[in-house]
Structure formats: structure tokens, C-alpha cells
Amino acid sequence: MANFNGTIRVGTPLVTPAVNVPVGATLAELNIDRTVPGGLNSLLTTTRLDVVMDFSLDGGTTWRQMLAAGTLGGIWVDDHTGATVINFLLATSPSLPGDPQSPTRKARLTAVATGQDVAYAATLTVT
């Protein structure tokens, strides 16, 4: 598990340090807390956060995009429960690429903010 926090500035992509993928791991989840001060829930709906999860099979020499998603600022409400959405979750499906027994797999994140700077607190869990 790796925790990241700070502020993503408009026009300045954030690239996290690469994290080792544990031998046997088959799932990666990124959870971004929308409720931190200056986070997505406190921003205008014209603000956008785009996140890409990159994956390396060779210890970080080469990278390929594994998944990408974007989310907007503002308060989101769950259509089913009416509750305020507090997290933005990305997960690999069905599983991570490469041999699960390989010790050379790595993951990293790239994030870009548009509209406003976005404060974040995120956890990347690889199991």
C-alpha cells in the first residue's frame, strides 16, 4: 500500500513514485478521498481530475497505461442511496498483467487537474 497526498496544480501533471507490485498480487485499487480540504467535493463542477495508472513488467524500464478515468469537482450524490459520494475509486479488472510471481512488476500514477488546483489524499493498494 502507498499513500499519496498534496495538491495537483493546473497545468503540472503529478507523477507518483513507482511502487513495487508484491509477488502474487492480482488487483490494484486507487482510492481518492474527495472530501479533503481543497478536494474535489469543495471545487466547482468545471474542475476535472484525470488519473492514469501505468504498469511496468520490467522493473520500471518501460511503462504502459493500464487504466484511466476522470472525475469532476462538486458534490456528487449516489443515485441509489442519496448519500454524498466521498471517494473516487479506480480498480483493475479482471487482474494485473504479467506473471503474478514476477518480482519486477511496478505501478505508478499520473494525474492532471484542469479548471482548479485539486488537493488530494489517495491510497494505492496492490493485493
6's grid cell = 498534496
Q: pLDDT for 28-71, tens place per residue? A: 999 999 999 999 999 999 999 999 999 999 999 999 999 999 99
Q: What is the pLDDT of residue 37?
A: 98
Domains of the chain, earliest start first: 2-126 (2.60.120.380)
Q: Of 101, 99, 93, 91, nearest to 124 (Cα)?
A: 91
Taking the C-alpha atoms of residue 19 and residue 15, their distance in angstroms, rounded to an integer, is 12
